[in-house]
Structure 1
Amino acid sequence: MIIGNKRIQELRESLRGRLFLPGEEDYDGARQVFNGMINKKPALIVRCAGVADVITAVRFARETDMRVAVRGGGHNVAGNAVCDDGLVIDLSEMKSVRVDPENRTARGGGGATWGDFDHETQAFGLATTGGIVPTTGIAGLTLGGGFGFLNRKYGLSCDNLLSADVVTADGRFLKASADENEDLFWGIRGGGGNFGVVTSLEYRVHPVGPVLGGEIVYPLDQAKEVLRFYRDWSTTAPDEVRADATLLSGPHGPALAIMVCYCGAIGEGERVLQPLRSFGSPMVDTVAPVPYATVQNLLTEVFRPGLLHYWKAGLFHSFSDEAIETIVDFFAGAVPAPFAAVAIEHLGGAVSRVGPQDTAFSHRGAQHSVLVLRMWQDPVETEENIDWGRRCYRAAAPFLEEGVYVNYLGDEGEARARAAYGINYERLVKLKNKYDPTNFFRLNQNIKPAPESPTPAFQTQS
């Protein structure tokens, strides 16, 4: 559909925020996202100043039959925050965070990042489970579940969500909580961006003062024995600790790094971490009492925006000796140039004490996840780097569940999206039929409405 200049000008004048068109100043900057592999060129980018702009953009897209992408933090590796020839609803200016220290809640805008959120909540000695890279958006991470350093103590990000404001496919503004639109509240806690534009999120926050955090780094030739010890120790560790083990090829060569965060009493943390810190012969041990924000920023430089990324992920069903042997042998036998990694993330604890159907995020039983990452700068190297990532994942695949963490999915097809939603997929389809029966919000890990969708629960507004 060709949209006339008059219609575009009317849209521009109706916004409090800013409209970007191809060829205009700052357009190229506005279409860039975290993953440098993504080079999409939207027809329109609406950088919203508030909810009214979001509603305007949704209605404009419906009236003009434009495909829509929704950008929060823009951190999703699949690049779903932008689209070719469509309309991007950009929330990046909607990033205010308000903390209520007395009630221990905090509300952030749909464009806020975890860096924004932590900056405000830590002023009161509070935090909630958030992404381990500060540039990650709070909305995208939470809608997909939300792994983070506090997840074993306080659950996933979505487990701490108290309410959310949502603009639906017909431009309605709804509150989703345990008391209002409860079905929608269930769905946005793991169902991704399939049901609307989330313009603000209210969380439960917890006292989190200085933590015991840092890295323990081992030579690669110790990786197998350290990983066997790590597996047994981490599976029985108290909830206050999360420890992630990562095979990595960094600027100083290949190694095994274990990144830890203990969010309880420092003295007790020293005792809990002592067996891990004393095992083997680490080259580096930076673990010390530090502000929570320090741990949250350990990976900031590694995950700087603009690099090209390939990710492939899964959840262990068997973190066995055989799995460790196979993964380490592959990595050691095909170590690429920096930066490559196989990250084994620590789950369990409070994550596993929520029922698999209590929220849309269903993968509650996994004790560890695995994420194969490859990052590079030169587009000429894309094919060989993706090939390494795929081969590395294939080595790990026999030890993984069918399911996968939806926030780590790239462009991997419908079957993988179904696996990400797991046993909750059919219930999510029914929810999609109710709130988005035309699949208006489809640029995501998509849940398609059933062909026999019922009459929409809304009337399209012109």
Structure 2
Amino acid sequence: MGNSPSSLQQCIETVGNGRVGFAGFPSDPLYQITWVKPYNLDVAITPAAVVRPQTAEDISGVVKCAAANNVKIQTKSGGHSYANYGLGGADGAVAIDMVNFQHFSIDNSTWQATIGAGTRLGEVSQKLHDAGGRAMAHGVCPGVGIGGHATIGGLGPMSRMWGSCLDHVLEVEVVTADGKIQRASSSENADLFWALKGAASGFGVITEFVVKTHPEPAHIVQYEYTIAFGSQAEAAPLYSAWQNLIADPALDRRFGSMFIMMPLGAIITGTFYGTEAEFQATGIPKWLPKDAGGAIVINDWLGSLAHDAEKEALYLSDISTPFYSKSLAFKREDLPSADKVKDLFRWVDDQDKGTLLWFIIFDAAGGAIGDVAANATAFAHRDKVLYYQSYAIGLPLTGTTKNFITNFHNQVQAAASPGTYGTYPGYVDPALSDGQQQYWGSNLPLLEQIKLKWDPADLFHNPQSVRPASA
């Protein structure tokens, strides 16, 4: 940026008014380590600035600075974007780090909670628990920030029972592209609110959420089955039986489950929100493996979240690594047959992975998520019953590893029913040529119209965010 500050830097520093720790710039020593902190080390990125505001007024000022200098903006909450989209996804954006937005309160008459957008899910769970044994649906990775999670979907083991995280959002405070601090809900700025619930990265900076909550489940049963074997092909029949279970339209909504492939083994997890007697009465246990590899644990709410996070191998999620990932979403009719599953698992055995740090997660969905119409919010994947995502870490990340993940994805698509399409927008994949269509499906045209109204200059931008419709 030269020896003298740019007009953008001068503007941001004016907003900060001399506060230490308000903003960092590429000229700062250790900028990448202390300010940028990229999540995926395979995606090199240098923002024009990283700002850590303390108030909505700070954000308003920074938004105006970016707009005046024709610089794009993105917001980082937990910072776990697979392609570093919270940092802009490409060089030269202003990244707004919401780390200081940790406020929390709860109304004990309505049990609605107000949560700062920089709060991470582990803290959300703890704060709700401490505020009267309350809870809401969300994922199990404790380091993920609610600012991104609650605006892109937010799926977890309790989502089949309670719906997605964004389905709990009743109102937000948001700074829009004109720098205004606004409220958005179903009755105020309703079109913007609709877009924020599924595609917020293209529409504004949310500072806080007002959410509905539930009483914590009094009883939780957790099932776990670990298999160690010499080949993935041996696990194919087990996977097919599990897939048949989670695809059953009558599957009890209190049950969430994952099947996780990994080197030399697999794990089946199940979480049931009820008593062991109720779990047995559902009939689910008879479809799950019961030999010495299986176990049932009775847990409390916070303990169950910790257990799920551990089994999903995501306690490492706060460690920056070079990694590569692909994913796909399945409707019930898209699911592959047992013969195709067998071929898919056999294919995995024959591949050079280039790393021992890989895993593939199949995650049950459906239930209450599908009770909401696909066009009720920007989140479009209401008809999906299963998601898969592959994830491989390389130290360093090699072409061999990327080819394994990419070719596995191609094999999954070939095994699924023709026309299987779309993926969860939280699993961003910069390699997609039609990312917006895959993320938002039939809701994309309306999103583009709302974008034209609220952000016609495309100030809030990453490589796959919603673009304004042609005027």
1:158 to 155, 166, 177: 166
1:231 and 2:243 correspond: yes
What one-letter code is carried by the residue in structure 1 that aligns with 2:22?
Answer: R
1:394 and 2:410 correspond: yes
After TM superposition, the score normalised by the length of structure 1 is 0.90
Deviation at 1:351, TM superposition (A): 1.0
For the 8 Å contact 2:199–2:465, the answer to whether it is kept is no
For the 8 Å contact 1:212–1:262, the answer to whether it is kept is yes
Deviation at 1:444, TM superposition (A): 5.5
CA distance in 1, matches of 2:362, 2:426: 15
Deviation at 1:168, TM superposition (A): 0.5
What one-letter code is carried by the residue in structure 2 that aligns with 1:243?
Answer: S
1:216 to 225, 228, 249: 225
What one-letter code is carried by the residue in structure 2 that aligns with 1:82?
Answer: L
Deviation at 1:218, TM superposition (A): 1.9
1:306 and 2:320 correspond: yes
1:21 to 25, 33, 56: 25
For the 8 Å contact 2:76–2:96, the answer to whether it is kept is yes
CA distance in 2, matches of 1:213, 1:444: 39
Deviation at 1:102, TM superposition (A): 3.8
For the 8 Å contact 1:248–1:342, the answer to whether it is kept is yes
Counterpart in the other structure of 2:215: 207
- The CA deviation string for residues 393-428 of structure 1, in whole angstroms up to 9 with x for no partner, is 011012162111111122134512212110111111
Counterpart in the other structure of 1:372: 390
Counterpart in the other structure of 1:245: 259
> 265-274 or 35-44: which moved more?
265-274
CA distance in 2, matches of 1:30, 1:214: 41
- The CA deviation string for residues 138-193 of structure 1, in whole angstroms up to 9 with x for no partner, is 12112111111111000111111111111111101111111111111111111231
Deviation at 1:248, TM superposition (A): 1.3
CA distance in 1, matches of 2:94, 2:75: 9
Counterpart in the other structure of 1:343: 361
What one-letter code is carried by the residue in structure 2 that aligns with 1:283?
Answer: G
Deviation at 1:30, TM superposition (A): 1.8
Q: Tell me the SS of whatever aligns to 2:434.
A: helix
Distance 1:103 1:196, change over 3 A: same
Counterpart in the other structure of 2:348: 331
Unaligned runs of 5+ in 1: 453-462
1:118 and 2:109 correspond: no
Counterpart in the other structure of 1:459: none
CA distance in 1, matches of 2:433, 2:352: 31
Deviation at 1:90, TM superposition (A): 1.1
1:105 and 2:116 correspond: no
Counterpart in the other structure of 1:172: 180
- The CA deviation string for residues 172-226 of structure 1, in whole angstroms up to 9 with x for no partner, is 1111111111111111111231110111112111122342225311234541121
2:196 to 181, 188, 201: 188
CA distance in 2, matches of 1:52, 1:14: 15
CA distance in 1, matches of 2:388, 2:12: 45
Counterpart in the other structure of 1:320: 337
Deviation at 1:37, TM superposition (A): 2.0
Deviation at 1:286, TM superposition (A): 5.8
Distance 1:296 1:25, change over 3 A: farther
After TM superposition, the score normalised by the length of structure 2 is 0.88
In the TM superposition, 1:51-66 aligns within 5 A as: 51-66=56-71
What one-letter code is carried by the residue in structure 2 that aligns with 1:407?
Answer: G
Deviation at 1:228, TM superposition (A): 1.7
Root-mean-square deviation (CA, aligned residues, Å) is: 2.3
Q: Tell me the SS of whatever aligns to 1:329.
A: helix
CA distance in 2, matches of 1:59, 1:397: 44
Unaligned runs of 5+ in 2: none
> 335-344 or 240-249: which moved more?
335-344
> 265-274 or 390-399: which moved more?
265-274
What one-letter code is carried by the residue in structure 1 that aligns with 2:44?
Answer: N
CA distance in 2, matches of 1:11, 1:433: 28
Distance 1:111 1:295, change over 3 A: same
For the 8 Å contact 1:44–1:86, the answer to whether it is kept is yes
Deviation at 1:26, TM superposition (A): 5.8
2:48 to 43, 48, 58: 43
CA distance in 1, matches of 2:69, 2:142: 36
> 55-64 or 12-21: which moved more?
12-21
What one-letter code is carried by the residue in structure 2 that aligns with 1:41?
Answer: T
Q: Tell me the SS of whatever aligns to 1:351.
A: helix
Counterpart in the other structure of 2:274: 264
Distance 1:304 1:71, change over 3 A: closer
CA distance in 1, matches of 2:316, 2:268: 15
Identity %: 21
Distance 1:238 1:223, change over 3 A: same
Distance 1:103 1:172, change over 3 A: same
Distance 1:97 1:301, change over 3 A: same
- The CA deviation string for residues 307-350 of structure 1, in whole angstroms up to 9 with x for no partner, is 22211111122232244223312222226342212211101110
Distance 1:269 1:138, change over 3 A: same
For the 8 Å contact 2:174–2:204, the answer to whether it is kept is yes
For the 8 Å contact 1:189–1:361, the answer to whether it is kept is yes
For the 8 Å contact 2:223–2:297, the answer to whether it is kept is yes
Q: Tell me the SS of whatever aligns to 2:153.
A: coil
The alignment covers a number of residue pairs equal to 445
